[in-house]
Amino acid sequence: MTRKYFGTDGIRGRVGEQPINAEFMLKLGWAAGRVLGKGGCGRVVIGKDTRISGYMFESALEAGLSAAGVDIRLLGPMPTPAIAYLTRTLGACAGIVISASHNPHYDNGIKFFSADGTKLPDDVEAEIERELEADMVTVPSERLGKAVRVEDARGRYIEYCKSTFPGRLNLRGVKIVVDCANGATYQVAPSVFKELGAEVTAIGVNPDGLNINQGCGSTAPEGLRERVLAEKADLGIALDGDGDRVLMVDHTGELVDGDELLYIIARARAGNGKLSGPVVGTLMSNLGLELALQGEGIAFLRANVGDRYVMEMLQAHEGMLGGESSGHIICLDRTTTGDGIVSALQVLAALVQSGSSLQTLRQGMSKFPQIMINVPLAERVDVTGNTVVLQAVKDAETVMNGKGRVLLRPSGTEPLIRVMVEGENESLVRQQAEHLAEVVAQTVERQIKSA
């Protein structure tokens, strides 16, 4: 489906540029209220991360929803998965998240959840886009929506996260460093791990509206690695700005990515007889994950990149566990969407139950060298079907001689084309990735000039 505003993960862009401006958000709130408030369920929850622009967009969305006759429940700074959870438990007809996830502070975006805490279907997003083209008409004054702040939102979500950790276990004796990326988890994540008994050192918990994801969190884990070593911690947990992704660091300072975390959780679930259906990864998932799961007798499927596609494949094949290399992991036996804190707790449960370290548990999977290069776009153009680019991909695959993979794809959230090459020989993989990235960059430049 061709959509004007919605991408693979809501609506996202640079603050102040169309459509990420106050005027559009007012209209979006009204259009969403018209569509999502149908059927008599006139309540929508709004949460946000710690970007300074969140205040502006929260007010604009609130005004638009009110003009459509929909009541609003304001959650304040809360992780994206918390909004999904609270949408369900507060009986709302939808949830709205104001966040650009792992992007810098100057970006922002809007994500929606349905009444059951899942991403909106394509047809509902299309209906909202149709309403955006209509003239905005405010309901009569007696029908205007009212806004109320939910004072206990944080406590509700903390208790929910703790409930996903096995009740007979605790984290006493486990020393953790948690990096909250100066984002939406800064008031929640440290409390969750502390209340389960862990000794916690928290970093990235001083947001100022501008420092979200800035040299911290899952997109920049070097500071976490250094702190884990300095504190002699058992492990480190790196969350992203809105809390739906997690990466970890073992006690030696080695990064443990989403593929390895997914393997650890899947192996633990299978060992307890609690894994149903296949594990779902994406086209970007490391080949080592697929081979390691096969070695455990666990089926593995690949979806298109994006958590909505992982979710669709899980539902189609009655699976319960899937995720992406970036650390966006979906545990459908615990929650309805990717949740960094909940995913980390599942890994910690596997560690406690096995009595092993994170370093030991990750050793069951051997990663293939994988190089990804982001080619920035001055304009949004897709050259992945260009004949010159396709020939370069074919040539790279020939050089790899059947012992590797090549993937080009436009980012769904940023103006980039991602070039990924994976194989047994790291130097060959890097060489082919750099060559392909150069071909793509040159093709993009030629296409823009000829437009």
DSSP-assigned beta bridge partners for residue 14: 107
pTM of this prediction exceeds 0.85: yes
DSSP string, 82-136: HHHHHHHHTT-SEEEEE--TTS-TTEEEEEEEETTSSBPPHHHHHHHHHHHTSPP
Chain CA centroid to CA 356, Å: 28
268's tokens: 């633990």
Q: 2: pLDDT confidence band, cut at 50, 70 and 90? A: low
Which residues are CB-contacts of 183 (< 8 A; sequence separation ≥ 6)?
49, 50, 204, 207, 212, 213, 217, 239, 240, 241, 242, 243
Encode pLDDT of 8-51 as tens digits.
Answer: 789 999 999 999 999 999 999 999 999 998 866 779 999 999 99
Q: Does the pLDDT of residue 246 top 90, yes or no?
A: yes
Two tokens, residue 7: 């991408």
Q: What tokens appear for 215 in the block?
A: 């040299």
Average per-residue pLDDT in the chain? 94
Radius of gyration of the chain (CA): 22
Q: What gap in Å lies between CA 292 and CA 282, rounded to an integer?
A: 15
Strand 279-282 relative to strand 300-303, pairing: parallel
Instruction: Please indicate whether residue 356 is annotated as part of the active site.
Output: no
| Residue 233: band (very low, low, confident or very high) from pLDDT cuts 50, 70, 90 | very high
Residue 350 vs residue 424, higher pLDDT: 350
Spatial contact of 164 and 334, defined as CB atoms under 8 Å apart: yes
- Please give the Cα distance from 158 to 265 (Å, whole number): 21
Place of tokens 């960059």: 441
- The span from the CA of 44 to the CA of 59, in Å, is 14
pLDDT (tens digit per residue) in 160-177: 999 999 999 999 999 999
Catalytic residue among 101, 114, 325, 326: 101
Domains and CATH numbers, the chain: 11-151 (3.40.120.10), 172-256 (3.40.120.10), 257-367 (3.40.120.10), 370-450 (3.30.310.50)
Segment 254-282, tens digit of pLDDT: 999 999 999 999 999 999 999 999 999 99
What value does the mean pLDDT take over residues 318-342?
96
Cα separation, 122 vs 114, in Å, equals 12
Q: How far apart are CA 29 and CA 434, in angstroms?
A: 43
